[in-house]
């Protein structure tokens, strides 16, 4: 069926191209008409912080923490904020910000807090979550006052961080063009994967827009889907084009060469794409609504890339025909004889135990820091030193104490003064509490909010301990029904949820991938080895993340100033993306090996030829992904650098240590046992061949 579909597209190439263009236009129009919106905040169902938020939203909707995205104007002057000139400028700033249409909860002097030494003022407000212009307007007003006559003005809050996800699509395509041109020496051979990937990603991003109209979709889904879609789109087209090129160089007619490439690389693309989709859809198991759109959107981008590879690419090959090497840069092809990859494979086979041990030691050493990983949301103290959020963080910490950057909101289901006094006294007695700053009761007298300032910053482990202690010991001792909320408590709950559900997510993806590979390759040891080695390479990437970002080793090289915890979403995101991509490479390599085994070749010869025939293309594909992911390290925000380095290291380790060292070494050690499958199990499993019999 797959071969017939691709052959149809090959023969009717103009019609196929027209259908794709029509589909892109239609999807773009449908996405625009659907009117989907991306979310910037997610619910944490079943958590104490979510219950606190829901109570605040129902009973005190005017609270700055509820009406929009919370922020604070932070003003500092050594003369004191009550100095006449400073007070006048501050009052003018508050009035101007309050007058902006995108401000939901206006700043006022009544809600302003002043530090004990009188030099720093903090004024809370909130901005509309769907209004991007208001952020620039507030920032412009603050910048106009900042530095005037020695007065410092900064703004805290997520919306004012800036420095979002880098637009790596353009760099990724440029890197892909250079790498493919160097690898294959032909402009035409280089151009087909690029064009196919571009068509696929345009359609995939329209799909993301459509999903956003029906399910909660994070605002960074477009960047993630672009990154993954470009990567797999180029990879899939690259493998098929490479096989087609080899077939035409052997003298096959273009149509026959397409049939061979689809029966081999094309089938591998479908199965590899399935593993990526499984990995990405595994995020649904986290049972967090705001991740649903991310899982569906990115998996849609991968699905479109697969469809493009088996329909649009054959049409492109039909246009190219025998002229795939047209516009050559005169690179020697190296046909015939043994390549350096043959020699490397035979070297590994001569020393399989030593090579396997070397690879395991390398990855094992990198895995060790993973066991020290602490999941928590890093605070604004890790933002770039010149950013407004970092300056606001430092000013608040100096003026009010580090805990002022992450106050806790204890929402009590009571307005009784005696009960609130007991609660306030119990909270204030805890050694982790610097102050009970404020107590507010709703007009109905049915609910109150106690603002608690910890002694430590939002990302500190001691602050998380305080949150748990308040919930488990302090609040129950006051005999009051209350919930600990606020951004800091929400971050603690988010980290706990991710930590609890991450093993389920990883386990489910590993199990489904193992079953799929077992069906495809009809072996127990091959899929078991594949999932173990892929898990090991991802674990090594986790270790690098911990060493650089949590321990602070060599962090200065990429602009990370000091150690901080690992973002709770990062391990999940890295695993979902990289496990799928690494299984791509595994499927392509093993399918090439299995093809030769099925033809009657020995396991050793099949491994040598399989590795030699795929090493160049896998290396090129991995190099493209490392370049794309590496651009994230150039971003301003720590979280962006974190995921960029993790993704780049995982792909690099997988394409080198795993694919070129551990896989051939372990397959040589296992020998013919690689393809062992119990007879009874073999009768139950369906027969699904990656390579079509010829």
Length of the chain: 694
Domain 337-388+502-694 has CATH 3.40.605.10: no
Q: Which residues, in sequence order, are CB contacts of 221 under 8 Å at separation 6+?
A: 38, 208, 212, 293, 294, 297, 298
User: pLDDT tens-digit profile of 497-515?
Assistant: 999 999 999 999 899 889 8
User: DSSP class of residue 138?
Assistant: H
Tokens of 540: 């090594």
- What mean pLDDT is reported for the chain? 87
Separation of alpha carbons 241 and 190, rounded Å: 9
Architecture in CATH of 1-35+168-333: Up-down Bundle (1.20)
**pLDDT band at 613; cut points 50, 70, 90:** confident
Distance CA 138, CA 151 (A): 17
Position 567 scores a pLDDT of: 92
Residue with the two structure tokens 């530090």: 115
pLDDT of residue 168: 55
385-395 as b/e, with b when 16 or more CB fall inside 10 Å?
A: eebbbbbbbbb
DSSP conformation class of 692: P
Tokens of 106: 């206006």
Could you read off the pLDDT of 255-287 as tens digits, one per residue?
999 998 998 888 888 888 888 898 899 888 888
DSSP 277-294: HHHHHGGGGG--HHHHHH
Q: Which two tokens stand for residue 201?
A: 């990603």
Q: What is the pLDDT of residue 142?
A: 94
Residues 444, 79: Cα–Cα separation, whole Å? 42
- Residue 253 · residue 240 · CB < 8 Å: no
Which residue would you say has higher pLDDT here, 690 or 77? 77
* Confidence bin at 424 (pLDDT 50/70/90): very high
CB burial of 635-658 (b: ≥16 within 10 Å; e: otherwise) equals bbbbbbbbbbbbbbbbbbbbbbbb
| Nearest residue to 571 via CA among 488, 648, 496, 506 | 506
The three state secondary structure string of 389-407 is: HHHHHHHHHHHHCHHHHCC
The fraction of the chain above a pLDDT of 90, given in percent, is 47
* pLDDT number for residue 436: 93
pLDDT for 41 equals 60
List pLDDT tens digits, range 106-164: 999 888 999 999 999 999 999 987 777 899 999 999 999 999 999 999 999 988 987 65
| Signed CA dihedral, 264, 269, 271, 272: sign only | positive
Q: What distance in Å separates the CA atoms of residue 588 and residue 264, rounded to the nearest whole number? A: 9
- DSSP reduced 3-state for 429: coil
Q: 636's torsion region: left (phi>0), alpha (psi -120 to 50) or beta?
A: alpha
pLDDT higher than 80, residue 39: no
* Token representation of residue 418: 């005696």
Q: Is the pLDDT of residue 690 over 80?
A: no
Average pLDDT rounded to a whole number, residues 524-532:
91
Say how far apart CA 298 and CA 505 lie, in whole Å.
17
Lowest-pLDDT choice from 186-195, 314-323, 332-341? 332-341
Q: How confident is the model at residue 691 (pLDDT cuts 50, 70, 90)?
A: low
Q: Where do we find the tokens 């805990």?
A: 403
What per-residue confidence (pLDDT) applies to 401? 94
Least confident interval from 216-230, 373-387, 419-433, 669-683: 216-230
pLDDT value, residue 694: 46
Phi, psi of 453 (to 5 degrees): -105, 115
Same fold, 1-35+168-333 and 68-160: no
Q: Which fold has domain 68-160?
A: Alpha-Beta Plaits (3.30.70)
Q: In angstroms, rounded to a whole number, what is the distance separating the alpha carbons of residues 297 and 291?
A: 10
Q: What pLDDT, in 10s, does the model give residues 543-558? A: 999 999 999 898 888 8
Domain boundaries defined on the chain = 1-35+168-333, 68-160, 337-388+502-694
CA distance 684 to 694: 25
- Dig out the tokens for 468 from the structure: 């748990």
Q: What is the arithmetic mean of pLDDT over 51-61?
A: 86
Q: Is the dihedral of CA 264, 270, 274, 280 positive or negative?
A: positive
Of the candidates 242, 299, 293, 289, which has an alpha carbon nearest to the alpha carbon of residue 265?
A: 242
Distance between first and last Cα of the chain? 15
Task: Specify the pLDDT at position 228.
Answer: 83
Any idea which residue has 């006048």 for tokens?
A: 88
Q: What is the pLDDT of residue 334?
A: 47
> 599: Cβ–Cβ under 8 A, 6 or more apart, which residues?
none
Distance CA 639, CA 574 (A): 12
Q: How confident is the model at residue 635 (pLDDT cuts 50, 70, 90)?
A: confident
| Helical ranges in 328-436 per DSSP H | 340-350, 352-367, 388-400, 417-428
Instruction: Report the pLDDT value the prediction gives residue 330, as an integer from 0 to 100.
Output: 52
Predicted local distance difference test score (pLDDT) of residue 79: 94
The predicted pLDDT at position 166 comes to 58
């Amino acid at each position: 069926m797959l071969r017939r579909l691709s052959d149809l597209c090959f023969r009717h190439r103009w019609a196929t191209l027209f259908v794709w263009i029509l589909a892109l236009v239609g999807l773009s129009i449908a996405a625009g008409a659907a009117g989907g919106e991306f979310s910037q905040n997610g619910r944490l169902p079943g958590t104490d912080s979510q219950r606190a938020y829901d109570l605040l939203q129902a009973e005190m909707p005017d609270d700055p923490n509820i009406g929009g995205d919370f922020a604070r104007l932070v003003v500092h002057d050594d003369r004191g904020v009550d100095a006449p000139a400073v007070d006048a400028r501050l009052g003018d700033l508050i009035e101007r910000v309050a007058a902006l249409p995108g401000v939901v909860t206006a700043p006022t002097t009544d809600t302003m807090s002043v530090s004990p030494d009188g030099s720093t003022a903090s004024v809370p407000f909130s901005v509309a979550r769907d209004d991007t212009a208001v952020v620039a307007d507030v920032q412009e007003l603050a910048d106009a006052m900042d530095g005037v006559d020695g007065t410092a003005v900064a703004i805290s809050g997520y919306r004012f961080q800036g420095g979002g996800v880098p637009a790596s699509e353009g760099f990724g395509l440029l890197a892909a063009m250079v790498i493919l041109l160097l690898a294959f020496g032909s402009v035409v051979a280089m151009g087909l994967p690029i064009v196919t990937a571009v068509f696929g990603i345009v359609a995939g991003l329209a799909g993301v827009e459509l999903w956003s109209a029906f399910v909660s979709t994070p605002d960074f889904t477009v960047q993630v889907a672009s990154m993954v879609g470009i990567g797999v789109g180029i990879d899939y087209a690259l493998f098929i084009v490479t096989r087609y090129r080899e077939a035409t160089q052997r003298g096959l007619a273009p149509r026959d060469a397409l049939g061979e490439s689809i029966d081999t690389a094309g089938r591998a693309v479908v199965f590899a794409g399935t593993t990526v989709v499984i990995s990405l859809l595994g995020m649904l198991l986290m049972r967090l609504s705001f991740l649903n759109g991310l899982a569906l959107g990115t998996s849609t981008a991968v699905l479109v890339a697969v469809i493009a590879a088996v329909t649009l690419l054959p049409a492109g090959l039909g246009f190219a025909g025998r002229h795939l090497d047209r516009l050559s840069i005169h690179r020697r092809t190296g046909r015939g004889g043994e390549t350096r990859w043959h020699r490397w494979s035979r070297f590994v086979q001569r020393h399989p135990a030593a090579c396997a041990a070397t690879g395991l030691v390398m990855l094992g050493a990198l895995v060790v820091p993973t066991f020290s990983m602490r999941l928590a949301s890093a605070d604004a103290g890790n933002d770039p030193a010149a950013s407004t959020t970092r300056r606001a963080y430092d000013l608040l910490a100096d003026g009010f104490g580090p805990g002022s950057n992450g106050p806790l909101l204890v929402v009590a289901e009571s307005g009784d003064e005696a009960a609130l006094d007991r609660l306030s006294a119990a909270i204030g007695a805890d050694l982790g509490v610097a102050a009970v700053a404020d107590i507010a009761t709703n007009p109905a007298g049915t609910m109150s909010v106690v603002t608690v300032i910890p002694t430590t910053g939002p990302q500190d482990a001691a602050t998380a301990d305080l949150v748990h202690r308040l919930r488990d010991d302090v609040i129950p001792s006051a005999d009051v029904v209350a919930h600990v909320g606020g951004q800091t408590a929400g971050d603690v709950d988010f980290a706990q949820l991710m930590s609890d559900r991450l093993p389920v997510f990883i386990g489910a993806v590993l199990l489904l991938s193992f079953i799929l590979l077992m069906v495809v390759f009809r072996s127990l040891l091959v899929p078991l080895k594949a999932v173990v080695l892929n898990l090991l390479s991802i674990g090594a990437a986790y270790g690098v993340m911990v060493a650089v970002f949590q321990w602070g080793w060599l962090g200065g090289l990429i602009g990370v100033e000091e150690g901080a915890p690992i973002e709770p979403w990062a391990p999940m995101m890295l695993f979902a993306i990289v496990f799928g991509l690494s299984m791509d490479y595994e499927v392509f390599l093993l399918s090439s090996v299995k093809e030769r085994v099925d033809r009657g070749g020995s396991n050793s010869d099949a491994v040598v030829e399989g590795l030699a025939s795929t090493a160049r293309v896998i290396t090129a594909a991995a190099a493209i992904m490392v370049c794309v992911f590496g651009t994230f390290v150039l971003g301003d925000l720590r979280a962006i650098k974190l995921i960029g380095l993790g993704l780049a290291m995982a792909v690099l380790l997988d394409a080198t240590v795993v694919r070129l060292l551990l896989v051939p070494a372990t397959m040589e050690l296992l020998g013919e046992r690689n393809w062992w499958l119990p007879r009874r199990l073999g009768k139950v499993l369906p027969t699904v061949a990656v390579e079509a019999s010829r």
